Amino acid sequence: MQQKRRFSKADKMIILGAGSMLLGFVLPLTFMQFEIGKPAGEGLELLLWIFAISTVTVMFFLTSWIFFRKAFSFSATETILEQEKEVEF
């Protein structure tokens, strides 16, 4: 029996929190770059690398955490249901 898996409120809050932390990390770097008065091209490559690495890292940890959480909770539910069936028969 296939069940549709939906994100819980905790999963949604973690995703939103990680996104806001990412924006909170990248936006000040952007504004600091313009306040220093450098041309727009200087330091932009570093900013893009920081953004890319942090995005990939956050997404990797979030997806792995959510995947393992769902996988273990689903297997625990199946085990409990199997134990209940054994008790009935």
Indicate the pLDDT class of residue 48, thresholds 50, 70 and 90.
confident
The DSSP string of 16-30 is HHHHHHHHHHHHHHH
pLDDT at 29: 67
For the cut 60, the answer to whether the pLDDT of residue 81 exceeds it is: yes
Scan for tokens 């689903």, then name that residue.
74
The 10s digit of each residue's pLDDT in 4-36 is: 667 777 777 777 777 777 777 776 666 665 555
Q: Between vectors from CA 69 to CA 26 and to CA 66, what angle results, nearest 5°?
A: 25
**CA separation for the pair 7, 65 (Å, rounded):** 12
Percent of the chain residues past pLDDT 90, beyond the cut: 0
**Using an 8 Å Cβ cutoff, are 7 and 36 in contact?**
no
